Amino acid sequence: KAGVTQTPRYLIKTRGQQVTLSCSPISGHRSVSWYQQTPGQGLQFLFEYFSETQRNKGNFPGRFSGRQFSNSRSEMNVSTLELGDSALYLCASSLDRNGYSNTEAFFGQGTRLTVV
Amino acid sequence: GEDVEQSLFLSVREGDSSVINCTYTDSSSTYLYWYKQEPGAGLQLLTYIFSNMDMKQDQRLTVLLNKKDKHLSLRIADTQTGDSAIYFCAESIGSSNTGKLIFGQGTTLQVKP
Q: Does the CB of A98 have a partner CB in chain B at under 8 Å?
A: no
- Give the one of A35, A50, A104 whose C-beta lies nearest to B45's C-beta: A104
pLDDT at B95 over 60: no
Q: Which residue has the higher pLDDT, A95 or B43?
A: B43
CB A55 to CB B98 under 8 A?
yes
Query: Edge-to-edge strand order for the sheet containing B55-58?
Result: B4-6, B18-24, B71-76, B61-66, B55-58
Q: Do B42 and A33 touch (CB under 8 A)?
A: no
CA-CA distances (angstroms) from residue B69 to A6, A88, B50, B65? 38, 33, 16, 9
**Residues B98, A100: C-beta atoms closer than 8 Å:** yes
Question: What gap in Å lies between CA B108 and CA B112, rounded to an integer?
Answer: 13
Residues 20-39 of B with CB under 8 A from A: 31, 33, 35
* Chain A neighbors of B1, CB-CB under 8 A: none
3-class SS at A83? helix
Taking the CA of residue A57 and the nearest CA in chain B, the distance in Å comes to 8
Enumerate residues 16 to 55 of chain A having a beta carbon within 8 A of any beta carbon in chain B: 31-33, 35, 42-43, 45, 48, 50, 55
What's the whole-number mean pLDDT along residues A98-113?
A: 80
Average pLDDT over residues A61-66: 97
In B48-67, the residues whose Cβ lies within 8 Å of chain A are 48
Distance between CA A89 and CA A66 in Å, rounded? 13
Evaluate the CA torsion angle A26, B102, B43, A33 in order and state its sign: positive
Indicate the pLDDT class of residue B4, thresholds 50, 70 and 90. Answer: very high
Of the pLDDT bands very low, low, confident and very high (cuts 50, 70, 90), residue B96 is: low
Q: Is the pLDDT of residue B97 over 70?
A: no
Query: What pLDDT, on the 0 to 100 scale, is given for residue B50?
Result: 87
Region A66-71: what's the mean pLDDT? 96
Write b or e for each residue in B25-52: b if 16 or more Cβ atoms lie within 10 A of its Cβ, otherwise e: ebeebbbbbbbbbeeeebbeebbbbeee
- Plot region of B58 (φ>0 → left; ψ -120 to 50 → alpha; else → beta): beta
CB of A72 less than 8 A from some CB of B: no
Does residue B19 register a pLDDT over 80?
A: yes
User: What is the nearest CA distance from A108 to chain B, expressed in angstroms?
Assistant: 6
The pLDDT score that the predictor gives to residue B98 is 60
Contact B99 A107 (CB under 8 A): no
Using pLDDT thresholds of 50, 70 and 90, give the confidence band for residue B1.
low
Instruction: Tell me whether the omega of the peptide bond preceding residue A39 falls within 30 degrees of 0, making it cis.
Output: no
Q: How far is CA B29 from CA A22, B10, B97, in A?
A: 29, 26, 8
